[in-house]
């Protein structure tokens, strides 16, 4: 008895995911549309305000250490021992004085730490070290 092989009787074993993708896209669109509405769930009457001008920010004091280890206040060379005496009057005039420290990358860390210590002894509490990105 001979068996005939008939390809037409085979069962298709693949799952069609097209309807699943269609349903997921519809759900995604529904969530995208309703998400902004969820931010204002509780009705609140917000108070009105008048915009005020921002206070003018004073330019920071820039202290620089060059590659030879010389210290500068703005563009004027200063002796390390005299730095605190130069900063104290500026701090007295502006207690929120911001000091930016710019140091050449070839300068030893100890020299920069000494500059930061002098600035700290002068009483400055807002110090930023300037770097390049």
Q: Residue 128 carries which DSSP code?
A: E
Domain-located, residue 32: no
Task: Indicate the pTM of the whole model.
Answer: 0.57
More confident residue, 53 or 65: 65
Question: Which pLDDT belongs to residue 1?
Answer: 52
Q: What is the pLDDT of residue 7?
A: 57
Q: Report if residue 55 sits inside a domain.
A: no
Task: Read off the pLDDT of residues 59-101 as tens digits, 9 standing for 90 and up.
Answer: 889 999 999 999 999 889 999 888 888 899 998 998 888 999 9
User: Does residue 8 lie within any of the structural domains?
Assistant: no
C-alpha dist (Å) from residue 129 to 27, 31, 100, 113: 50, 46, 6, 11
Phi/psi region, residue 74 (left: phi>0; alpha: psi -120 to 50; beta: rest), is: left
User: How many folded domains does the chain comprise?
Assistant: 1
The pLDDT of residue 34 is above 80: yes
Give the H/E segment covering residue 73.
strand 71-73
- The enclosing domain of 113 has a CATH number of 3.30.420.270
Q: Which domain holds residue 98?
A: 61-129
């Amino acid at each position: 008895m001979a068996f005939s092989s008939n390809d037409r009787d085979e069962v298709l074993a693949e799952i069609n995911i097209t309807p699943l993708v269609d349903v997921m896209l519809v759900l995604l669109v529904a969530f995208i549309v309703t998400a902004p509405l969820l931010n204002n769930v509780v009705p609140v009457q917000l108070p009105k305000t008048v915009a005020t001008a921002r206070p003018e920010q004073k330019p920071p004091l820039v202290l620089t250490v060059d590659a030879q280890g010389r210290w500068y206040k703005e563009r004027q060379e200063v002796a390390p021992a005299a730095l605190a005496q130069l900063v104290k009057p500026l701090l007295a005039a502006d207690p929120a004085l911001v000091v930016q420290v710019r140091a050449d990358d070839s300068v030893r860390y100890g020299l920069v730490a000494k500059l930061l210590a002098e600035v700290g002894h002068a009483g400055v509490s807002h110090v930023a070290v300037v770097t390049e990105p």
